[in-house]
Homo-oligomer: A and B are copies of this chain.
Amino acid sequence: MSTDRFRDLSNTALAGRLGVPRVPLLRRYEPGQALLPGPALVTSVGAGRFAKPIRALVEESGQQAVDEVGDQKLAAVVVDLTAAVTLDDLAAARAILTPAVRKLAPSGRLLLLGPEPAEAAAASIEAAATAQALDGLVRTIAKELRAGATANLLVVAADAPPAAVDSSVRFFLSARSAYVDGQVVRIGAPVGSPQDPAAMDSPTLPEKPLAGRVAVVTGAARGIGAAIADTLARDGATLVVVDIPAAGENLAKVANRTGGTALQLDITAVDAPERLIAHLTQRHGRVDLLVHNAGITRDKLLANMDPDRWNAVLNVNLRAQLRITEALLADGTLLQDGSRIVCVSSQSGIGGNRGQANYVASKAGIIGMVRALAPVVAEKGVTINAVAPGFIETEMTAAMPIGTREAGRRVNSLRQGGLPVDVAETIGWLGRADSGGVNGQVVRVCGQSMLGA
């Protein structure tokens, strides 16, 4: 499989030739895999409301949940800081974390839960400062951890019940989040009624968390799009894969191996929204997960940018997504309570990128669209989020000159490029019916790339 080829290359042959240290091998999800490979420290500062249910989750998954650091290696460290309101609370967090990070196992998971700074400000300015300090702290820890361990922060709104964080805690503790590092994700009161409440009480990661859900993936014929289709199908979704007619042969292969249907469609065509809606209406009568993945690049410095390059990229990457999303919302029948929309933005859309003014404008535009639509779609029980991949090993990056490619791979805290499946797993998490607490967010899948500001 191509992704294994990439990993082997960077781990052995290439690393040897370049004389660079071996990159850590990241633990990745495989069907049947337990939530955690070892015990977890789960504790809190003050009266956090999440430590108890998270401890129960860990124990029900078959692992020990300890509340103090001992001699054993820890597969995960979870500290509920949602009740932290003072600098003394922050110092208490430091006292927990210093011994804990020493015990974190390879591919370990450090997960903090903290209050929302804007909400904390209502209590005191010190509370707001404390909340924001966690943001910097987790990004620092992520830069200090080694051996594939990650650190992330869930910022939890005051009105979010423990169940709202459940799918996110599962994702960030599990191997599914292998390449999501140094990120801060906000969780609010859940949007939509989970269609499968039983999954939320499941003692282990359900094998098929997307069972019964109809998922559409655009640009699915190859690369990240194909990985998304494969991963969603693995997790139980019924797929509708979309790509341009020229990619029809590959698209058919993806449809066949995922047991889904293929829809050959140029998403920039005038009648594209109409045709997609017709296909979905006839086959399924619904869409539970819409993944706007299709995208193109036409790189050129802005000084040399012609209207054709500009328009081609903006039309595929942004205008088509706007039109299709608006048509689906106007349709009113396919997107239902619990449906999820996930857009593929890019790290470049956050920080800009030399030679990609058109691509960056489109991917930043996606972020604007996601944030603007979040409150609109929430009224229908729908969420919309974006993933922003960093350096992901694809045919595109494989074609880069070796210097550029190696630099791209190394300038992140995990010292390697991500795999398409890492983007796909993140989309799978956001696509779950019980991920309604996550809305309007942009989640980077970048190994905490140091670029992008």
- A residues contacting B by CB (< 8 A) are 87, 90-91, 94-95, 97-98, 101-102, 117-118, 120-121, 125-126, 128-144, 182, 301-305, 307, 310-311, 314, 318-319, 322, 325-326, 347-358, 360-369, 371-373, 376, 444, 449-453
Q: Are A118 and B314 in contact (CB under 8 A)?
A: no
A364 cross-chain contacts in B, Cβ below 8 A: 132-137
Identify A120's interface contact among B135, B137, B372, CB under 8 A: B372
A304 cross-chain contacts in B, Cβ below 8 A: 98
CB distance from A186 to the nearest CB of B (A): 15
CB distance from A62 to the nearest CB of B (A): 28
Query: A245–B121 Cα gap in the complex (Å)?
Result: 34
Name the CB-closest residue of B to A354: B143
CB distance from A83 to the nearest CB of B (A): 16
Identify A91's interface contact among B138, B310, B350, B353, CB under 8 A: B310
Q: Are B318 and A129 in contact (CB under 8 A)?
A: yes
Q: Are B360 and A87 in contact (CB under 8 A)?
A: no
Q: Are B102 and A303 in contact (CB under 8 A)?
A: yes
Identify A352's interface contact among B120, B136, B366, CB under 8 A: B136
Identify A368's interface contact among B97, B132, B138, B141, CB under 8 A: B132
Query: A452–B87 Cα gap in the complex (Å)?
Result: 24
Query: A415–B371 Cα gap in the complex (Å)?
Result: 34
Known contacts A129-B366, A133-B364, A133-B365, A314 near B87 by CB under 8 Å: yes
Query: A146–B45 Cα gap in the complex (Å)?
Result: 49
Name the CB-closest residue of B to A138: B352
Name the CB-closest residue of B to A132: B368
A139 cross-chain contacts in B, Cβ below 8 A: 351-352, 360
Q: Are B87 and A318 in contact (CB under 8 A)?
A: yes
